[in-house]
Amino acid sequence: MSKIVLTKAKVVTHLNENIGLSKRECKFFFESFVNIISSQLIKKKDVKIVNFGIFKIKNKKARIGRNPKTKEEVMISERNVIKFKPSNFLINLINVNTEKSESK
């Protein structure tokens, strides 16, 4: 199974072809969308997109990790990570489309 990567350029091209706005407008729209999500996550606010999912910030406490090669213990610092929980609608949509493509 090959990995297909969805790039910013592909999203902008897809918006351009399907909405009819110029590529410059589509790029501005996409970058604004990402900036809105990023700015809310920076403020530690959840971002909920209906029928898509929820982005949340979770704080991970400092802990001791181990380098698998050298077995050396290293302190891993406290940090924030982004968690994404897909909506049931998205999960069902993906599962239905996966079943269809496997039956072909």
75 within some domain = no
Token pair listed for 38:
């990023």
Total structural domains within the chain: 1
- pTM of the full predicted structure? 0.74
Q: DSSP secondary structure string, 2-70?
A: ------HHHHHHHHHHHH---HHHHHHHHHHHHHHHHHHHHTT--EEETTTEEEEEEEEPPEEEE-TTT
* 8: containing domain: 1-43
Residue 65, in any domain of the structure: no
Distance CA 101, CA 104 (A): 6
Task: Report yes or no on 8 lying in a domain.
Answer: yes
Q: For residue 21, tell me if it sits in a domain.
A: yes
Q: What is the pLDDT of residue 104?
A: 58
Give tens-digit pLDDT for 45-103: 999 999 999 999 999 999 999 989 999 999 999 999 999 999 999 999 999 876 666 66
For the residues 14-42, what does the mean pLDDT come to?
94
CA distance 47 to 85: 11
Asked whether residue 91 is domain-assigned, the answer is no
